[in-house]
């Protein structure tokens, strides 16, 4: 007797692969069957409607009909007619009325539902009484007239109305309950999809946020080399810039890359900067060979290196150093970028609150938070006697962990 009727305009976007419903994400035959059941709202209504009234038929057949007429063909026919009356009443009349009511405000909805249910209760009770008389004769009417002392048809069928009213109200409860529940499920999934898309857009924005100063300084350095007729270094620098930008644009910000690929891309970036700063910049690396297959967000360390060059190395006349560390600590991967610049604040956390100096570092922190949630750490510390250290800790995972 339960039913479902959700507007097709509220359906969720189609998913890849088999047409799946919004309830079961797991595979298997049972999961596919449940998803098939919930995938089409019209099909679900008729399955539930048919199953519910078939259940009513068996209940009526083995209770009311058996008590009134015994196990006879007439009793069976009476149960079938009673079921058909309920099935047609709810399918042809109540469902369209309730569809209309759902588009109204709360007060009008309540008025329409209650008034239509009461009217249909009276109509269904009257039709059932006529059917009873056809199957079992007029003796029932005569006994009712004698007991009630009136031949008014309304008063004769009045004792049967509470049961039919309860039946239709139960159907209405199932109808609205399942509809509103599925509508809530749809809205919840819509909200989750919207949040996921927003996270992806945020990640892409963070990942593609290249500092224009880097491009300007690199192109300016290339221009200087050309003016100095140092064609070889200019060409090498332009080739590295092209390769780095290609890697930056081709790599998917929502996917992860191996640390080995990340180091190769960063090396292109560092080679460009070394060409700019010549002997003023020294690069030190401490990369554990065992962690080169670890998966990391693409170009996750680039903002830290760029920050070190812009606010540390560029402020020094010589002796600038940047160290890159990658180690495994338990089930975590520690990545670290440190410099020996003279301008590191006593409280490095202040850098994240500064619009001019903290953009790249905030970028790193936010990307980690989006990708790993609470399973990551982003730390800033001041080195002695000078320098800033940016440390990232993220779960150690490899491609084999993802199948």
At CB < 8 A and 24+ separation, what contacts does 36-43 make?
38/182, 41/4, 41/5, 41/6, 41/7, 41/8, 41/11, 41/182, 42/5
Q: Residues 6 or more apart from 170 whose CB is under 8 A from it? A: 1
Q: Is 290 exposed, middle or buried (0-12, 13-18, 19+ CB in 10 A)?
A: exposed
For residue 396 the two structure tokens come to: 């150690």
What angle, 0 to 180 degrees and rounded to 10, lies between the N-to-C axes of helices 212-227 and 231-250?
A: 160
Rounded to whole angstroms, the Cα distance separating 94 from 5 reads 12
Rounded to whole angstroms, the Cα distance separating 2 from 181 reads 13
What pLDDT, on a 0 to 100 scale, did the predictor assign at position 7?
36
Residues in the chain: 403
φ/ψ (deg, to 5) at 117 = -65, -40
Q: Domains of the chain, with CATH numbers?
A: 8-197 (no CATH), 208-402 (3.30.565.10)
What pLDDT, on a 0 to 100 scale, did the predictor assign at position 211?
57
232-to-108, 270, 279 alpha-carbon distances in Å: 81, 18, 18
Rounded to whole angstroms, the Cα distance separating 138 from 265 reads 94
Mean pLDDT, 10 residues at a time, the chain of 403 residues: 39 39 56 72 87 88 67 77 90 92 90 93 87 73 71 77 90 90 80 64 53 69 79 83 75 77 87 83 93 90 87 88 95 95 83 69 83 90 91 92 66
What pLDDT, on a 0 to 100 scale, did the predictor assign at position 332?
95
What pLDDT, on a 0 to 100 scale, did the predictor assign at position 2?
42
Respond yes or no on whether the N-terminal peptide bond of residue 385 is cis (omega within 30° of 0): yes
Rounded to whole angstroms, the Cα distance separating 208 from 73 reads 77
Rounded to whole angstroms, the Cα distance separating 137 from 354 reads 92
For residue 281 the two structure tokens come to: 């910049």
């Amino acid at each position: 007797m339960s039913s479902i009727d959700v507007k097709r305009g509220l359906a969720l976007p189609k998913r890849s692969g088999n047409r799946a419903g919004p309830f079961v994400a797991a595979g298997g035959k049972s999961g596919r069957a449940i998803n098939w059941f919930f995938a089409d709202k019209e099909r679900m209504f008729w399955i539930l409607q048919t199953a519910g009234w078939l259940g009513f038929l068996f209940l009526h057949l083995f209770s009311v009909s058996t008590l009134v007429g015994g196990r006879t063909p007439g009793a069976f026919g009476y149960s079938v007619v009673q079921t058909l009356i309920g099935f047609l009443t709810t399918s042809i009349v109540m469902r369209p009325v309730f569809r209309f009511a759902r588009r109204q405000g709360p007060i009008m909805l309540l008025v329409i539902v209650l008034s239509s249910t009461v009217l249909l209760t009276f109509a269904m009770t009257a039709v059932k009484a006529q059917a009873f008389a056809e199957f079992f004769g007029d003796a029932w009417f005569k006994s009712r007239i004698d007991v009630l002392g009136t031949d008014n048809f309304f008063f004769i069928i009045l004792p049967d109305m509470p049961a039919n009213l309860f039946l239709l109200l139960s159907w209405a409860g199932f109808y609205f309950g399942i509809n509103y529940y599925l509508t809530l499920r749809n809205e919840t999934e819509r909200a989750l999809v919207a949040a996921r898309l927003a996270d992806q857009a945020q990640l892409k924005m963070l990942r593609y946020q290249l500092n224009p100063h880097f491009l300007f300084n690199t192109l300016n350095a290339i221009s200087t080399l050309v003016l100095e007729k140092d064609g070889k270094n200019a060409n090498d620098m332009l080739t590295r810039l092209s390769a780095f930008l290609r890697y930056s644009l081709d790599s998917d910000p929502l996917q992860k890359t191996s640390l080995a690929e990340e180091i190769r891309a960063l090396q292109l970036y560092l080679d460009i900067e070394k060409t700019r700063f010549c002997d003023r910049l020294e690069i030190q690396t401490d990369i554990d060979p065992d962690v080169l297959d670890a998966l990391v967000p693409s170009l996750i360390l680039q903002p830290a290196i760029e920050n070190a060059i812009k606010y540390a190395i560029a402020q020094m006349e010589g002796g600038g150093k940047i160290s890159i560390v990658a180690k495994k600590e338990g089930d975590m991967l520690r990545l670290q970028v440190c410099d020996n610049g003279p301008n590191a604040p006593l409280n490095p956390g202040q850098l994240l609150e500064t619009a001019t100096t903290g953009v790249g570092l905030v970028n790193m922190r936010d990307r980690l938070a989006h990708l790993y949630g609470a399973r990551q750490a982003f730390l800033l510390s001041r080195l002695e006697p000078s320098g800033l250290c940016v440390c990232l800790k993220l779960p150690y995972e490899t491609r084999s962990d993802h199948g």
